[in-house]
Amino acid sequence: MNALRRLLLVLVIVGTVCCTSRLSAAETPNIVLIFADDLGYGDLGCYGAKGYTTPNLDRLAREGIRFTSFYSAQPVCSASRTGLLTGCYPNRLGIHGALGPNAKHGIASGEMTLAELVKQKGYATGMAGKWHLGHHPPFLPTRHGFDEYFGLPYSNDMWPRHPEAKPGSYPPLPLFENERIVNADVTAEDQNHLTAQYSERALHFIETNKNRPFFFYLAHSMPHVPLGASERFRGSSDAGLYGDVIQEIDASVGAILDALDKHGLTENTLVMFTSDNGPWLSYGNHAGSAGPLREGKGTTFEGGVREPFLARWPGKIPAGAVQNEPAMTIDLLPTVAHLIGAELPKHPIDGLDIWPLLANQPGAKNPHEAYYFYYNLGELQAVRSGPWKLILPHTARLIQDRGHDGAPGKYKATMVGQSLYNLDDDLGETTDVAARHPEIVERLLGYAEKARSDMGDSLTKRKGSGVRAAGELHSSSTPQAK
C-alpha cells in the first residue's frame, strides 16, 4: 500500500513538473528581436530584392508571417528605437532625431523598456548592436533592463574617419561592453567585423541562457553607412558591397535559427525581424531600396517608415502567412506584455496589443482608430487611418541626386502641401485625392488635432500636454576606457 502511495505521489510530482514546464514554456516564449539599420522595404528577397539573396530571412517568412504594412515609429534612428523599446511615440518621451556624441540626454529612468517588461517574468535579457538612446552611463542598456550589452552607443557614421566628417566634428567612435569602452577608437577594419561580432554575442547568449526564458535584442549597425562586411562576404553578391552586407546579416539570422534548432528552442521562441527606418537613398549604391514606396529615410513618405516585418513562432503563428493590416513597432511591447502576462507601465503608452494580427486570426483588424501619426523630429507631417493617409503641409527633404561608393548625393528641401492618398490603391503616393474626399480630410484633420494637443507639433507651434521629459545628464560620469 505504501509502495502504491509512493508510486502515485511520484506520478503526481512528475505530472505536475511536466505540465508546469509546458505551461511555463507556453507563457514565457523566448524572444529574439532583430533590428536592422536603414534597411529598406524592398531589401529582402521575400519583399522583391534583386542582385543578392536572403534565404534565411525568406525562411522566416515561409515559416512565419510577413507584414506588408508595418511601420517604424519615425524615419530616423534614435526616435525609431525609442518607439520600438517603449511602446510610445518618441515625441511623447522627448526623444527626436538621432542622438550624437554631444547629446546630454537619453531615455528617462522612469520609462519601461521591453527588457524591463520581460524582467517581470524572470527573463534573461541581452543586447548586441546599436543602442542610440543615450551614450552616457545612466542611459545605457544595462541601466534599462538588459543584463548584458555589446555594441556601438550610436550610429557608425558619427565617426571621425567618415569621409563626410568635418575635422573635429566627432570624437573617436567607442565600442562598449556593458558600461565599459573596450575599443576606444573603432577603425574601418573594426566596422567590417561588427555584424559577425554582434552575431557571436547572440549565439553565446542563446547557448548560455537556453534553460530559462530569454530576450535578445540584436540591433545591427548595418546596413547603415559606412558599410562594412567580413572578408568572407565581400564580393559574395551581385549587388556590390550593399548586397554583401545584407547577405552577411541574412547569414547571421540563419546562424541564430540554427542555434535555436540545435538547442531545441525553435518551438518556444518568437523571432522577429524589422528595421529602424527606410533606406538612406542619397548614398546611391551604398543604400538599400524602398521598393515601390516613395522616397526613403528622413521623410514621412512611406519609403521612410514602412519596413519589412517578419515574425515566426511555430504552432502559434501560421507558416507562410501574409498580413496586410497596418501595424507598428510601438505595438510590440504591449503585444509581448499580453503574451507573457506582464504588467504594462503605469504611465500612458501608445501601442496596442496586435497579437490577433501576428497570429493571423481571421478578420483581425488593427486596433487603432487613427493608426499612425507620422512625426518627423517634432513635426506632425501626416496621419493614417485605414487606407487613408493625409499629408500635412511641411518641408520635406527630397532626393536630388544619388552618391556613389560611400559618398552621399544631395537633397533638396521641398514644400509639400496638404494631400490625401489611398494607400491600398496608391502605394507610391502619386495621386492626391483630397478634393474627392473632403469628409475624410476633415476626419483625419481631427485626429491630427488630437495628436497635437497630446504630443505637440512644432509645425503649428503646439506643446503637447502628454509629453514626458527625456532623461537629462545631471552629473557626468564618463565611461572608462579599458
Give the catalytic positions in this structure. Answer: 77, 132
The Cα–Cα gap between 48 and 306 comes to: 15
Looking at the Cβ atoms of 84 and 470, the one nearer to Mg ion is 84
Q: Which stretch binds Mg ion (CB under 5 A): 67-75, 242-250, 277-285, 455-463?
A: 277-285
Looking at the Cβ atoms of 276 and 457, the one nearer to Mg ion is 276
Least separation in angstroms between CB 276 and Mg ion: 4
Cα–Cα distances in angstroms (integers) from residue 59 to residues 43, 202, 231, 408, 439, in the given order: 15, 19, 25, 33, 43
The Cα–Cα gap between 343 and 274 comes to: 25
Least separation in angstroms between CB 116 and Mg ion: 23
- Count Cα atoms within 13 angstroms, Cβ side, for 307: 29
CB 427 within 8 A of CB 326: no
Cell match 523566448: residue?
30
Looking at the Cβ atoms of 158 and 196, the one nearer to Mg ion is 158
Least separation in angstroms between CB 132 and Mg ion: 8
Name which of 176, 172, 206, 179 is nearest 194 in CA terms: 176
276 near Mg ion, judged by CB under 5 A: yes
The Cα–Cα gap between 419 and 338 comes to: 37
User: Pairing relation of β-strands 105-106 and 471-472?
Assistant: antiparallel
Helix H or strand E encompassing 252: helix 240-262
Number of residues that bind Mg ion (CB under 5 A): 5
H helix intervals, 101-155? 114-119
The Cα–Cα gap between 219 and 127 comes to: 8
Q: Which stretch binds Mg ion (CB under 5 A): 192-200, 253-261, 272-280, 379-387?
A: 272-280
37 near Mg ion, judged by CB under 5 A: yes
Least separation in angstroms between CB 199 and Mg ion: 19
Looking at the Cβ atoms of 116 and 276, the one nearer to Mg ion is 276
Looking at the Cβ atoms of 17 and 165, the one nearer to Mg ion is 165
Q: Which stretch binds Mg ion (CB under 5 A): 75-83, 102-110, 362-370, 405-413?
A: 75-83
Cα–Cα distances in angstroms (integers) from residue 84 to residues 195, 273, 275, 350, 372, in the given order: 21, 12, 10, 11, 14
Name which of 335, 284, 269 is nearest 114 in CA terms: 335
Q: Which stretch binds Mg ion (CB under 5 A): 69-77, 209-217, 397-405, 408-416?
A: 69-77
Least separation in angstroms between CB 277 and Mg ion: 5
Q: What angle do CA 250, 251, 254 make, to 5 degrees?
A: 95
Least separation in angstroms between CB 99 and Mg ion: 12
H helix intervals, 310-350? 332-340
Least separation in angstroms between CB 297 and Mg ion: 6
38 near Mg ion, judged by CB under 5 A: yes
Looking at the Cβ atoms of 41 and 123, the one nearer to Mg ion is 41
277 near Mg ion, judged by CB under 5 A: yes
Looking at the Cβ atoms of 248 and 457, the one nearer to Mg ion is 248
> Cβ contacts of residue 481 below 8 Å, gap of 6+?
174, 180, 181, 184
Least separation in angstroms between CB 76 and Mg ion: 6
User: Contacting Mg ion (CB under 5 A), which of 77, 114, 287, 390?
Assistant: 77
- 214: which strand partners? 124
Looking at the Cβ atoms of 32 and 79, the one nearer to Mg ion is 79
The Cα–Cα gap between 221 and 223 comes to: 6
What are the two backbone dihedrals, phi and then psi, of residue 364, each rounded to the nearest 5 degrees? -65, 140
Which residues contact Mg ion (rule: CB under 5 A)?
37-38, 77, 276-277
